[in-house]
Amino acid sequence: MKRIRMYENGEFDLYIYRKKPQLSPSQAREKNRKSQNSKIERKRLEEVINDGIECGFIDREEYHTLVADGLGLTVEEYWSKLTRARKSNLNRAKNNIIEIIRNNFTVGDSFVTLTFRDKEGFDWTDWATCVYELDKYFKRLKHKYGRDLKYICIPELQKENGRNAWHYHILINLKYGSFDFREFNPIWGLGYVTVKPITSTGGLGWYLSAYLTECLQDIPQNKKTYFASRNLTKPIIIDNPEDVENVLANNEHLSVAYNKTVNSDYIDCEYIEFR
C-alpha cells in the first residue's frame, strides 16, 4: 500500500507500507481485549486516586505508585509503559509541527524569538503566567496585522545560569522586510524580541520540534506542548492507488531529500521525502 502526503508548495512525502503475517483472529481478539481492559482499569484508578489527591489524603508523589499497584505492575514496569506512551505522544506532536511548518510557511517568512526580561513581580518560570502573556501577544499581533495571520509557537525553558526562564520560538507568515521589526518590541513589551528571515523550511521543523524533547518534562502534564493559530492547514492525504501513481509520474523532477524505513511487529513502513 502507498500513501502520499502532499504539501501546498508541491513537495510531498511517500509512505510505502508492507504488511507482516497477521495474528490469528483469536490472538487479535485477546490482544485487543487486554488492551481495552487495561485502559478502562487505569482510567477508573486515576479517577479514584485524583479524588484522593483533591481531598488531600493522597500525596501526589504516591500517585504513580498507586496506579502501578492497581494495574498489577511494579513501579519500574509502570514507568516503562508511561515513558513509551509519552515518547509516542512526543513523536506525534513533533510530526504535527513538521507538517504544519512545511505546509504553511515559506522561505522569507519571519522567525521570531520572545524572551522575558527581569521584572519585579513577574514570574517568568511559571508556565501559566507566561502562557497567559503569550496569548495576549498573539491577540495584539492579529489586531495589528490582521486576523489571517498564521503562526506556530514552540516553547523552550532556558536553564542557563540557573535562570529557568521560558521563552518562545515563533514562525509567522509575515515576510521579513515587509514590516518594521522594531514594532514587535512594544507589542511584546515583556523582554527582548529577535526577528530573522526563514532561509529554509526543510530542516526548520526538525530543529524547532527538537525543543519539545528538551523541555517536555518541564511542561505541566496535560498542557499544550506547542501553540498554533487555528487557520493553519494540514497537507492533503492521497491514498487512491491511481492518484498516487499519477503524482509520482508527474513529479519526476523532484529528488529524494530523506529516506527511512521503520519496522514493527505487524507492518513495515518506508518513508521518502521528495523536494
CATH number, domain at 106? 3.30.70.1910
| 66 contacts 45 by C-beta, under 8 angstroms | yes
Check whether residue 106 and residue 181 sit in a common domain.
yes
List, for residues 133-148, the tens digit of each pLDDT value.
999 999 999 999 998 9
Instruction: Quote the cell numbers at residue 98.
Output: 513538521
Contacts of 77 (CB under 8 A, 6+ apart): 68
Check whether residue 185 and residue 162 sit in a common domain.
yes
Q: Which residue has the higher pLDDT, 232 or 208?
A: 232
Domain assignment of residue 79, yes or no: no
Check whether residue 206 and residue 254 sit in a common domain.
no
Q: Taking residues 81-96, report their average pLDDT.
A: 76
Count of residues making up the chain: 275
* Mean model confidence pLDDT for the chain: 82
Check whether residue 247 and residue 220 sit in a common domain.
no
Domain assignment of residue 114, yes or no: yes
**pLDDT number for residue 50:** 55
Q: How many domains does the chain have?
A: 2
Long-range (24+ apart) CB contacts under 8 A made by 197-201 are 197/107, 197/108, 197/109, 197/110, 197/111, 198/105, 198/106, 198/107, 198/108, 198/109, 198/110, 198/111, 198/171, 199/107, 200/107, 201/101, 201/102, 201/105, 201/106, 201/107
Q: Taking residues 94-119, report their average pLDDT.
A: 91
**Residue 177 predicted with pLDDT over 60:** yes
**pLDDT number for residue 241:** 93
Domain assignment of residue 84, yes or no: no
Check whether residue 199 and residue 270 sit in a common domain.
no
Q: How does strand 109-114 pair with strand 193-197?
A: antiparallel
Distance in angstroms (rounded) separating the CA atoms of residues 251 and 271: 17
Q: What percent of the chain has pLDDT over 90?
A: 44
Check whether residue 115 and residue 174 sit in a common domain.
yes
Check whether residue 132 and residue 223 sit in a common domain.
yes
**Residue 36 predicted with pLDDT over 70:** no
Check whether residue 35 and residue 110 sit in a common domain.
no
Check whether residue 224 and residue 106 sit in a common domain.
yes
Structural domain harbouring 22: 2-73+240-274
